Amino acid sequence: YSEYNPYTATGRPSNKYGGINFAALNKNDGTRQSFISRYGEDGLLIQFDYEAFHLRLVAAQMGYKLPETSVHTFLAQQYYGKEEVNPDEYEASKARTFSLMYGMSEDFGGVEFFHKVRQYSEQLWEIYRNVSSVKTKTGKRITVDEPSANKVFNYSVQWLETETALQNVAKVCELLDNKLTKPILYTYDAILLDLHRSEAALLPRIKHLLEDGGYPTRMYKGKNYNELEMV
């Protein structure tokens, strides 16, 4: 029943139904546990989400090669200068990556990737200052209220996320037309499905469609939206 508004400034569709934003349900208060399969014991909730989606999207724009394995592990190894990182270091590295990616920190250290990201961000800003917009890969012109280098970069990445993901999500919707399995929620870098167990053989095809373009996904399953476990 969700209503999506694709016409937002940042490029991320807003989502609501009855005053509830389903794209931003609380992860910690049990709210998500209310959402279950319409098929009862014959159903299962399946979520596919893109691994390090923003990092991979920007890398593709820059022509920078990231590993097919975990990007966060790849960056953590560079932050800490070692091959094996523990869970605490992994989580800390994700926070550092977020700060570097979105301009809250400039502690690039010796991490080549973020030096390249800064150069890319500066190129976007130069374009924006010259023509008061930047163009997405589908031809959409992005304009920003009270623009800054970081804001133009962030909007560009979010538009890139939406354009890339929704082209692949559309293919999944087409595949599931007239099937029992239904796509029920799109949340920026993830799609949630209500799977009828008789159609489990569709999952590899869905994963293949979502990964078109070279963006790997992870799959989760659960009896409700609060208890999804990686497969």
- What is the per-residue pLDDT across 136-191, written as a single tens digit (0 to 9) for each? 888 889 999 999 999 999 999 999 999 999 999 999 999 999 999 999 999 989 99
Contact 20, 185 (CB under 8 A): no
Nearest to 215 by CA among 60, 46, 23: 60
This prediction has a pTM of 0.90
Each residue's pLDDT tens digit, 68-123: 899 999 999 999 999 999 999 999 999 999 999 988 888 887 899 999 999 999 99
DSSP 75-102: HHHHHHTSS---HHHHHHHHHHHHHHHT
